[in-house]
Structure 1
Amino acid sequence: MNDIDIKSSNNLLRKVFLYMILGIAISFGTGAYLLYFNQGLLYTLFDYYQFLVIAELAMVFSISFFINKISAGLARILFLAYSLINGITLTVIGLIYAPQIIFYAFMITLTIFIVTAIYGYTTQEDLSSYRRFFMIALISLIALSIFNAFMRVGMLEWVITIAGVVIFTGLIAYDVNRIKAISYQLADGDNETMEKMGIIGALNLYLDFINLFIYILRIFGRKK
């Protein structure tokens, strides 16, 4: 690894984490504002909850599958808009759980994220070999979650929650390791490509963080 590779890796990771932090700040900031300062607007927006969820899915799909066809500017707008809308939909959490429980879950999530991200970056192991495992695990988690949404099996809910924590913790290390590998390939890449990879990398880590936070909240949270 030469100095150019290291510089490229640092530049991409810097973009990824800056965008991710910005996205999380927008989401939690939006949620806090609506929940504590403008509940009237919150309940008005909840009338369009299904449309907001559809919009979120459309934005994630657009960034994930059309990143090479859209401009970096559009990808940036989509990511920030997604963070804003997700902040609206996540306010449901604030209506269910006490503020201190949300704070504790957030801090636990942040600690796990930092430790796991450091491992993903510093490990000499190529974690790309775990791609199939994580794909199967994630699909299985989604399928079981849908099944249990109808069946309401208490023990299965607990298994899903623990599995969710394990899977998304692993995905953080995997995604950071993958972003690091991509950064070496982009050592001679243009700024537009680097910006796009920074945005999609931030989206992946943002999703890992939010999902890990939700599953940890289920474990430690006590509902209002």
Structure 2
Amino acid sequence: MNQFQNYNDNAPGDIQYVVGNPVSQVMKRVYLKMFLGMLVTAFVSMWGASSDAYLSFMFSNSWAMWLLLGVEIVLVIAISGAIKKLSSAAATALFYLFAVVNGLSLAPIFLIYTGASIVKTFFITAGTFGAMSIYGFFTTKDLSKMGSILFMALIGLIICVVVNMIWPSDTFGWIISVAGVLIFVGLTAWDTQQIKNMALMAPGDSVGRLATIGALTLYLDFINLFLYLLRFFGSSRD
């Protein structure tokens, strides 16, 4: 989250943003890259779910899922940590590689939940995400304090997920899902405002890299929100 911190410390909070100005142009590129990344993830996930060879390999080798998750973490760290050193093309390539790897790791959800419930949850997520992102972009309220709270809540959420993996509990799992929805709803608004402020302060030659890191951040917010909402709206195939 705080990869934006170096750019927005002096960003004014009461500037009026209008369609057509540089900030709006950056945000258009952010949303476009995010959308394309999600398309890549969706197509790869559907391919994985329909490939008997891929599914057989994944179910026969439990380490494969952990490997995919490890690669995802490495890619996020690489993009976020080296964003100022990477070229725009390299950052974009790493983002789409992340989208592919994430698609491979998400393929099993098509075996767990019905296609109709996945589509329904996607649209619910899209509406919720869109509303919060619009709020984060247009609000004149400084959401910095909320960001600190959400970051601590996210750390707590990760700890709870790990604990629930070791000592499974359905009730605790539902509580985690509720918390996850609330946290990523808030993060969507906060991250959008951070990206907006970063766009305001960033030099012109960093626009491409900014669009990539912004797309990655909002992509992660969307995917996590979708997965937690799927716990409530997904219909099991069993």
TM norm structure 1: 0.92
Distance 1:55 1:184 in 2: 32
Distance 2:228 2:19 in 1: 36
Contact 1:42–1:88 (CA under 8 A) maintained in structure 2: no
Give how far 1:133 is off: 0.3
- Tell whether 2:164 aligns with 1:137: no
Contact 2:118–2:230 (CA under 8 A) maintained in structure 1: yes
Residue of structure 2 equivalent to 1:114: 130
Residue of structure 1 equivalent to 2:103: 87
- Tell whether 2:17 aligns with 1:7: no
Contact 2:18–2:24 (CA under 8 A) maintained in structure 1: no
Give how far 1:33 is off: 2.3
Residue of structure 1 equivalent to 2:143: 127
Residue of structure 2 equivalent to 1:23: 37
How many residues align? The count is 220
Residue of structure 1 equivalent to 2:79: 63
Residue of structure 1 equivalent to 2:113: 97
Residue of structure 2 equivalent to 1:218: 231
Contact 2:133–2:189 (CA under 8 A) maintained in structure 1: yes
- Tell whether 2:66 aligns with 1:53: no
Distance 1:222 1:104 in 2: 10
Closer/same/farther in 2, CA of residues 3 and 130 from structure 1, 3 Å limit: closer
Root mean square deviation of aligned Cα: 1.9
Write 1 or 2 for the structure with the bigger share of helix: 1
- Tell whether 2:216 aligns with 1:203: yes
Distance 1:157 1:64 in 2: 30
Q: Any gaps of 5 or more consecutive residues in structure 2?
A: 1-14
5 Å-filtered alignment, 1:180-199, equals 180-186=196-202, 189-191=203-205, 193-199=206-212
Q: Any gaps of 5 or more consecutive residues in structure 1?
A: none
Equivalent AA in structure 1 for residue 21 of structure 2: K
Deviation per residue, 1:155-185 (Å, 9 max, x gap)? 2111110000000001000111111111111
Closer/same/farther in 2, CA of residues 154 and 44 from structure 1, 3 Å limit: closer
Distance 2:150 2:84 in 1: 24
Distance 1:35 1:93 in 2: 8
Contact 2:184–2:225 (CA under 8 A) maintained in structure 1: yes
Equivalent AA in structure 2 for residue 219 of structure 1: F
Match of 2:91 among 50, 75, 78: 75
Distance 2:22 2:55 in 1: 42
Give how far 1:39 is off: 2.8
Give the share of equivalent positions with the same residue, in percent: 34
SS in 1 for 2:21: helix
Equivalent AA in structure 2 for residue 208 of structure 1: D
Contact 2:125–2:225 (CA under 8 A) maintained in structure 1: yes
TM norm structure 2: 0.87
Contact 1:26–1:84 (CA under 8 A) maintained in structure 2: yes
